């Protein structure tokens, strides 16, 4: 697996930290358009697979049977921050499906929003499964099981009907057979998938332009893309890269990150200018650093011409684009985050 330097951090002009990785940009036909490092590196998509893991929810008829709204659909694709706005939507969805928090098998993790953490501590509460960043995805999986009359307790079984339908959908979107996908277990206990970066990039291009897909799949993809871009606050939350990038993208960019430095992005037709085709981007940071994944993704979009100067300035001010200054706890400028790669044309 060949990685190349993507992001570096300097202090007083001296390079202090370096993050290597690989990037693939592909179109909806699966052609490699641009890359850095090895675009065929096989890595786990982690939560970036969620827009495709939710496809059977739509294609099975479960989403319509339970009246799932676009805002709720966005939550099933989310790695949300466990804010009240996420939990409130989730509880309403669970009530309509006829499942509860006790049915979730995602576990519990600490929250990253200081205000929510403070409020829970003052209330004598601790995070519960509904505040897990994958609880929306798991609720969508439970909806599939409920709609199909399957035992709820088996919704995570890799060999069970729910997960087999998901594996098939993910493989098809990546242009692979199910046997070609490496299956592991994610942090939330659901099956997860490793595929070449270029295949994942092509899947995201198809999310942005599903014209070549079968009618039912194309309709589902359009609903997912619209839900994510119309409700970016549900996909992550204020301050999160996916949310802020989609806000800056003005409905032309769908973004979904994953753990261990994985980031994937779908660019709608016309995002690079009139007549430009849909593109997908997938990247992996070798050391798993989320801070570098966001910067490498923004820099890739800049080099492709997908972001306006104003959007880039907004993202840089939030520390989500390079270059941006590094400041210490007193606010003193002590260094800079920089991008250190140039995309190469695909072959």
pLDDT, tens only, 104-140: 999 999 999 999 999 999 999 999 999 999 999 999 9
Q: Which residue has the tokens 């993910």?
A: 170
Give percent above pLDDT 90 in the chain: 98
What is the average pLDDT across 225-253? 97
- For the record, the structure tokens of 325 come out as 């200054």
Q: Which of 255, 94, 256, 258 is nearest to 188 (CA)?
A: 258
CA 47 to chain CA centroid, Å, is: 6
Share of the chain above pLDDT 70, in %: 99
pLDDT of residue 189: 98
3-state secondary structure the chain: CCCEEEEEEEECCEEEEEEEEEEEEEECCCCEEEEECCCCCEEECHHHHHHHHCHHHHHCCHHHHCCCCHHHHHHHCCCCCCCHHHHHHHHHHHHHHCCCHHHCCCCCCCCCCHHHHHHHHHCCCCCCHHHCCCHHHHHHHHHHHHHCCCCHHHCCCCCCHHHHHHHHHHHHHCCCCHHHCEEEECCCCCEEEEEEHHHHHHHHHHHHCCCCCCHHHHHHHHHHHHHHHHCHHHHCCCCCHHHHHHHHHCCCEEEEEECCCEEEEEECCCCCCCCCCCEEEEEEECCCCHHHHHHHHHHHHHHHCCCCHHHHHHHHHCCCCCCEEEECCCCCEEEEEEECCCCEECC
pLDDT greater than 80 at residue 26: yes
Provide mean pLDDT across the span 241-256: 97
Query: For the chain, what are the domain ranges?
Result: 4-345
pLDDT at 168 > cutoff 90? yes
340, 6 in Cβ contact below 8 A? yes
| Mean pLDDT, all residues of the chain | 97
CATH hierarchy code of domain 4-345 = 3.40.710
Residue showing tokens 């966005």: 74
d(CA 118, CA 148): 40
pLDDT value at 347 more than 80: no
Calculate the alpha carbon distances from 343 to 112, 116, 200, 299 in Å: 33, 40, 18, 10
Rounded distance, CA 262 to CA 285, Å?
6
Contacts of 281 (CB under 8 A, 6+ apart): 23, 24, 25, 201, 204, 263, 264, 265, 267, 297, 300, 301
Q: What is the mean pLDDT of residues 200-205?
A: 98
Would you give the distance in Å from CA 160 to the centre of its chain? Answer: 24
pTM of the model: 0.96
Neighbour-count burial of 124, counting CB atoms closer than 10 A to its CB (0-12 exposed, 13-18 middle, 19+ buried): exposed
Q: Report whether the peptide linkage leading into residue 101 is cis, meaning its omega lies within 30 degrees of zero.
A: no
CB 242 within 8 A of CB 264: no
pLDDT tens column, 261-286: 999 999 999 999 999 999 999 999 99
pLDDT reading at 1 higher than 70? no
Per-residue pLDDT for 326 more than 80?
yes
Q: Could you tell me the CA-to-CA distances from 20 to 65, 115, 141, 191, 222 in Å, in that order?
A: 45, 33, 35, 27, 34
């Amino acid at each position: 697996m060949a990685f190349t330097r993507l992001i570096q951090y300097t202090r007083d002009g001296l390079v202090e930290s370096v993050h290597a990785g690989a990037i693939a940009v592909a179109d909806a036909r699966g052609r490699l358009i641009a890359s850095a490092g090895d675009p065929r590196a096989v890595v786990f998509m982690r939560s970036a697979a969620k827009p495709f893991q939710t496809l059977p929810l739509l294609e099975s008829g479960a989403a319509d049977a339970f009246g799932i709204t676009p805002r709720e659909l966005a939550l099933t694709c989310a790695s949300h921050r466990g804010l009240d706005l996420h939990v409130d939507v989730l509880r309403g969805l669970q009530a309509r499906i006829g499942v509860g928090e006790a049915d979730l098998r995602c576990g519990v993790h600490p929250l990253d929003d200081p205000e929510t953490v403070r409020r829970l501590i003052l209330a004598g509460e601790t995070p519960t499964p509904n505040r897990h960043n994958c609880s929306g995805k798991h609720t969508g999986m439970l909806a599939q099981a409920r709609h199909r009359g399957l035992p709820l307790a088996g919704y995570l079984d890799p060999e069970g009907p729910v997960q087999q339908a998901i594996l098939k959908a993910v493989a098809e979107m990546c242009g692979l057979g199910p046997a070609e996908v490496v299956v592991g277990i994610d942090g939330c206990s659901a099956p997860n998938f490793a595929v070449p970066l270029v295949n994942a990039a092509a899947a995201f291009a198809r999310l942005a332009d599903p014209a070549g897909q079968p009618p039912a799949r194309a309709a589902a993809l359009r609903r997912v893309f619209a839900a994510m871009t119309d409700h970016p606050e549900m996909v992550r939350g204020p301050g999160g890269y996916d949310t802020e990038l989609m806000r800056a993208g003005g409905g032309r960019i769908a973004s979904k990150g994953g753990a261990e430095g994985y980031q994937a992005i779908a660019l709608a037709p016309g995002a690079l200018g009139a007549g430009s085709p849909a593109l997908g981007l997938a990247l992996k940071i070798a050391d798993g650093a989320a801070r570098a994944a966001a910067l490498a993704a923004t820099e890739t979009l800049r080099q492709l011409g997908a972001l306006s100067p104003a959007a880039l300035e907004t993202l840089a001010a939030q520390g989500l684009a390079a270059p941006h200054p590094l400041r210490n706890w007193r606010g003193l400028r002590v260094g800079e985050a920089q991008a250190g790669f140039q995309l190469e044309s695909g072959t």
